[in-house]
Structure 1
Amino acid sequence: MRLVIASCSVDYEGRLVAHLPLATRLLMVKADGSVLVHSDGGSYKPLNWMSPPCAMVEIEPDTLEAEAGVVRVWVVRNTKSDDRLRVLIHEILHDSCHELGIDPGLVKDGVEAHLQALLAEHIATLGEGYRLVRREYMTAIGPVDILCRDAEGAHVAVEIKRRGEIDGVEQLTRYLELMNRDPHLVAAGPVRGVFAAQEIKPQARTLATDRGIRCVKLDYDALRGLDDTTDRLF
């Protein structure tokens, strides 16, 4: 990756025309060919950019540009369209290249798969006497995250989300409608539902309650054994 901090102006031509007046900015040239123009604000979003496939060349300024103080010109063209980014550099304050290597990608902690595995391991979180039947119990319309039995032996279908919203309740409702038609599953009583999430929206909780679905808020750290809720003062 090449990082350049420079006093520059930027013009974009293509599906629209945009102009960034002269200012000090960070120019990033990535290994995939993309070029991004950042300011010291706006979080992660660049002010302007050119995504690959594209090609960049550095050229000398023309006479008028040189008279205006331009020392270098970057011309970035998209190879599949007429989009063009033209960066007029007046002064370079920093210019460096860095080999970052292959990135392993983002590993999210607390995603639904982790929550499912932890809840299956600690199924008694749902209530005393609960027993795991299996994870990813397949139905005709998709897998239920967890199928378990309660203390009375009745089956319970558990849908797990990080953020519990109405769509998740609707999904669990469809599973329950199908599962309650299976005589093997309802032998000990109707299949009940549990909607489990780290955060449950009020609308989702209201809908779940109206449909007889129990809501359970999951504490990820407690499931991992990092936070003992019995030791809390509040």
Structure 2
Amino acid sequence: MRLVIARCSVDYAGRLTAHLPLAPRLILVKADGSVSVHADDRAYKPLNWMSPPCTVKEAEDGTRSLWTVQNKAGEKLIITMEEVLHDSSHELGTDPGLIKDGVEAHLQELLADRMETLGEGWSLIRREYPTAIGPVDILGRDEAGTTVAIEIKRRGEIDGVEQLTRYLDLLNRDPHLAPVKGVFAAQEIKPQARVLASDRGIGCVTLDYDALRGIEDDKLRLF
């Protein structure tokens, strides 16, 4: 990973245009080829970014450094650095991945055993299906035989949808699996996550932990 802190302006040219005026920012260049631009707020969310795969071309324009980041679709992120305050590279190696808490791991196990929860005729291909960026919780098939990648969370938020989007991008490059659709499954799904999932063609399923375990709801019911 390369970390650059610089006074820079950023211009995006693609499906739309966007401009970040001159200010101090952190630029991350990761081993997967992604480039993201961060401010000193907004938690983990970048101000702008380019997803992998992309190329980075560096040039000098007088006293300024000019980076042109381009993806395979021809979209460009142009970073103009007026002053570089820090520039370092670090080898992080392979990350062991997220260790799921007990409930999340158990949800995965239960759903894999009860794929009919998602619909009649659904079947399991494999749990923890490996990809270059981490394992997909469940890979299965729906009643039509279409491959489905299922990401399971205890609480479904936007970052979980983003994670599933990255998996789908990789899986759909495999001609033996494509087309692959996505399902985002959680005990609770935030409204913003539902909107983003819908926009990306990803289905949402709310999981009932007790029902998956075969425990009857002891609440009084009118019907």
TM-score norm. by structure 1 comes to 0.50
- Partner SS, residue 209 of structure 1: coil
Pick closer, same or farther for the CA change 1:105–1:82 going to 2, 3 Å: same
Q: Is 1:20–2:12 an aligned residue pair?
A: no
Match in the other structure for 1:92 = 84
Match in the other structure for 2:128 = none
Identity of aligned residues (%): 54
Pick closer, same or farther for the CA change 1:24–1:114 going to 2, 3 Å: same
- Partner SS, residue 216 of structure 2: strand
Q: Is the 8 A contact 1:110 1:162 kept in 2?
A: no
Partner AA of 2:78 in structure 1? R
CA RMSD of aligned residues (A): 3.7
Q: Is the 8 A contact 2:64 2:83 kept in 1?
A: yes
* 1:65-80 matched pairs, under 5 angstroms: 66=62, 70-79=63-72
- Partner SS, residue 60 of structure 1: strand
Q: Is 1:194–2:216 an aligned residue pair?
A: yes
* 1:42-53 matched pairs, under 5 angstroms: 42-53=42-53
* 1:163-178 matched pairs, under 5 angstroms: 167-168=206-207, 172=211
Pick closer, same or farther for the CA change 1:36–1:210 going to 2, 3 Å: same
Q: Is the 8 A contact 1:72 1:89 kept in 2?
A: yes
How big is the shift at 1:162?
5.0
Aligned residues: 141
2-side partners of 1:74 and 1:94: how far apart? 16
Q: Which has the larger radius of gyration?
A: 1
Unaligned residue ranges in structure 1 (runs of 5+): 118-135, 144-160, 176-191, 196-204, 213-234
TM-score norm. by structure 2 comes to 0.53
Partner AA of 2:67 in structure 1? W
Partner AA of 1:106 in structure 2? L
Pick closer, same or farther for the CA change 1:211–1:55 going to 2, 3 Å: farther
Runs ≥4 in structure 1, deviation > 6 angstroms? 137-140
Unaligned residue ranges in structure 2 (runs of 5+): 124-152, 156-186, 189-204
How big is the shift at 1:114?
4.5
